[in-house]
Amino acid sequence: MAAAAAADAAAAARLPGAVSHIPEDRLPAVREAFRTFDTAGAGDIAVDELAGVLRALRYTVNQTELAEFAERYSADGRIGYEQVLHVVGTVHNRRRGPAAMVAAFREFDPDGSGVITVATFRQILLSLGEHDPVKGGVAPLAADMAEEMVESADPDDTGEVDYAAWVRGLTSQADALRRAGHTPAGARKFMREQAEEKAKGKGGKKKGK
C-alpha cells in the first residue's frame, strides 16, 4: 500500500496541469477504481470503461465530456493510468469550480455582506485567470474578457458586485451550453465570441452617437 501511495504521489508530481487539482488523499481511490477495470494489470483500460472509473469515484459526466476525453487522451481506444489521472483532475476541477470561485471572492468580503467593490472583483478575476482546456492548467484572463465579466456582474453601475449571484449565473450559462452539446472548450469559445460581438456592438453605438 505504501509503495502504491508513493507511486501515485510521484505520478501526480510528475504530471502538470489538471492532475494537481486531485487531493492527495483521493489518489488511492483513483488507483483502486482504475485497477477494478484493469483486470489484466496491463496499465491501461478500454476508453469505453472510463465512464465506469468516474462513476466509481462518484463523478457524473455526460457523453460530450467522455467524447472530449477520448479524443484528447486516447489514440487507439485505450487509455493509461496517467491519462486517467488527467481526466479525473479535470473533472474534479470542473465540479469544484463554482465553490472555489465563491470562496476566493469571500476572502475579500470580511464583513460577509455578500458584495465586493467592482475594483476588487476585477482584481480577483485577473488573479484567478481561466482554465486552459488544452493544457489543463490556468491561463491569464484577457483584460477585455475581464471587463465584459465586470459589466455582466454590475450592469447597473452600482460599483458593487453580488459575487455569489454572478457565479451562479455564469455556471448556469456554462451548464446550458454543455447540455446543448458544447464541450467545455467550445462553451468558453462561444461565450468569448458572444462577449466580443457585444463589445463590437457597443463600439458601433458609441460611434453613431
Domain boundaries, the chain: 2-92, 107-208
> What pLDDT, on the 0 to 100 scale, is given for residue 177?
63
* Domain 2-92 and domain 107-208 have a common topology: yes
pLDDT at 55 over 90: yes
Query: Taking CA 70 as the corner, what is the angle to CA 194 and CA 179, rounded to the nearest 5 degrees?
Result: 40
Please name which of 26, 32, 72 lies closest in space to residue 52, comparing C-alpha atoms: 32
Number of H helices, E strands in the chain: 9, 6
pLDDT, mean over the chain: 78
> What pLDDT, on the 0 to 100 scale, is given for residue 178?
63
CATH number of the domain at 107-208, out of 3.30.390.10, 2.40.50.100, 1.10.4030.10, 1.10.238.10?
1.10.238.10
59 touches 95 (CB < 8 A): yes
> What pLDDT, on the 0 to 100 scale, is given for residue 162?
95
64-112 per-position pLDDT tens digit? 888 889 998 998 999 999 999 989 988 887 766 677 778 778 888 989 9
Angle between helices 63-73 and 81-106 (to 10 degrees): 120
- Identify the CATH class of 2-92: mainly alpha
Q: What letter represents residue 180's amino acid?
A: A
> What pLDDT, on the 0 to 100 scale, is given for residue 16?
47
| SS3 label, residue 94 | helix
For cell 476585477, the residue is 122
Q: What letter represents residue 3's amino acid?
A: A
- How far apart CA 182 and CA 43 sit, in angstroms, is 31
> What pLDDT, on the 0 to 100 scale, is given for residue 198?
59
> What pLDDT, on the 0 to 100 scale, is given for residue 199?
57
> What pLDDT, on the 0 to 100 scale, is given for residue 170?
81
- In this prediction, residues 30-40 reach a mean pLDDT of 95
